[in-house]
Amino acid sequence: MSKLNYVHFKFLPMSLRVLFTMVLLVFGTGYLMAMFQAYESHAGKDGDPMLSGKDLMIAYSGNPDGTKLETALRGPMQDMLPAEKRQVIFDWLHAGAKQEEFAAKINPILQEHCIACHNPEANPHLPDLREYAGVSKITARDEGMTIPTLVRVSHIHLFSITFIFFITGYIFSHAYVRPTWLKCLVIAIPFAMLITDVASWYLTKVWEGFAWVVIISGAFMGMAFATMWVISMWQMWFWKVPASISDNDGQIPCLHSEQ
């Protein structure tokens, strides 16, 4: 029983090899830009300029310490009031900063400790803390990406990346790589990682630790892409074809070696 063979790059028409090469060059450039863009849009959210798991947690699930009020009360405004009153404000923030509780619980503290400076007459550039309206501007919780935003980004991501890896994987399928399972694994990994990546964006909202799955998926996707890119380019233009392939007109028999 004969099975379909595949033709090694070296035995493809020059026009096809040029096509494959140009596509890989453009995809390679696009990939670098995509990584740069991911870095630019997420790095530094946690205060540290490097891209970290924390940055992605903040991007997808929001920052629980992300109100300006809490950040200030844990930072420069820390000494403006006693610790137990700070705690009252934190509890209020963590419970959703409800307006109903503002007058009774929060306003007295602010009146006593804050408005001497935080009023427009004294300091017009500081948040006005005399009334709820001014305070609410610095208590909006940072929720990260909303579900509608995630849905929009994920369908674009799923379609466009499938397209890229279908083409890259198809080009790479003309390479000679043994063992065969390894070749198949390199082709399959990006698609599996694409699914865990996108799923983890949503799951990060439930448990922040999934931010690491986003990072690991991205890393494996990048490694698979780099592997396919380098092996394809190299075998297409620089590789010396083994006799077993050239004696067979560039056909790599599937019967025994590639099932």
Of 52-60, 70-78, 92-100, 233-241, which segment contacts ligand HEC by CB under 6 A?
70-78
Q: Give the nearest distance from C-beta 107 to ligand HEC in angstroms.
A: 11
Q: Give the nearest distance from C-beta 126 to ligand HEC in angstroms.
A: 5
* Residue 119 or 196 having the CB closest to ligand HEC: 119
Q: Give the nearest distance from C-beta 146 to ligand HEC in angstroms.
A: 23
Non-local CB neighbours of 161 within 8 Å, separated by 6+ positions = 190, 194
Q: Tokens 């409800």, residue?
A: 98
Write out the binding residues for ligand HEC, residues 118-147 only, by CB under 6 A.
Answer: 118, 126-127, 138
Tell which one of 117, 156, 195, 219 touches ligand HEC (CB under 6 A).
Answer: 117
- Rounded to 5°, angle at Cα 28 from 22 and 33: 130
Q: Give the nearest distance from C-beta 49 to ligand HEC in angstroms.
A: 20
* Residue 33 or 126 having the CB closest to ligand HEC: 126
Handedness of CA 37, 41, 47, 53 (dihedral sign): negative
* Residue 105 or 113 having the CB closest to ligand HEC: 113
Q: Give the nearest distance from C-beta 95 to ligand HEC in angstroms.
A: 17
Q: Under the criterion CB under 6 A, does residue 167 sit at the interface with ligand HEC?
A: no
Chain centre to alpha carbon of residue 218: 7
Alpha-carbon distances, residue 82 vs 89, 100, 112 (angstroms): 11, 23, 11
Q: How many C-beta atoms surround the C-beta of residue 6 within 10 A?
A: 14
Alpha-carbon distances, residue 215 vs 38, 145, 221, 234 (angstroms): 11, 17, 10, 28
Handedness of CA 65, 66, 70, 73 (dihedral sign): positive
Give the total of residues touching ligand HEC (CB under 6 A). 17
Q: Under the criterion CB under 6 A, does residue 76 sit at the interface with ligand HEC?
A: yes
Alpha-carbon distances, residue 92 vs 100, 104, 126, 139, 193 (angstroms): 11, 11, 22, 10, 40
* Residue 68 or 98 having the CB closest to ligand HEC: 68
The whole-angstrom separation of Cα 85 and Cα 96 is: 17
Q: Which of 83, 44, 10 is nearest to 239 (CA)?
A: 10
Q: Under the criterion CB under 6 A, does residue 77 sit at the interface with ligand HEC?
A: yes
* Residue 63 or 204 having the CB closest to ligand HEC: 63
Write out the binding residues for ligand HEC, residues 188-247 only, by CB under 6 A.
Answer: none
Write out the binding residues for ligand HEC, residues 3-32 only, by CB under 6 A.
Answer: none
Write out the binding residues for ligand HEC, residues 91-110 only, by CB under 6 A.
Answer: 110
Residue 182 structure tokens: 């390894």
Which residues are at the interface with ligand HEC (CB under 6 A)? Answer: 68-69, 72-73, 76-77, 80-81, 110, 113-114, 116-118, 126-127, 138
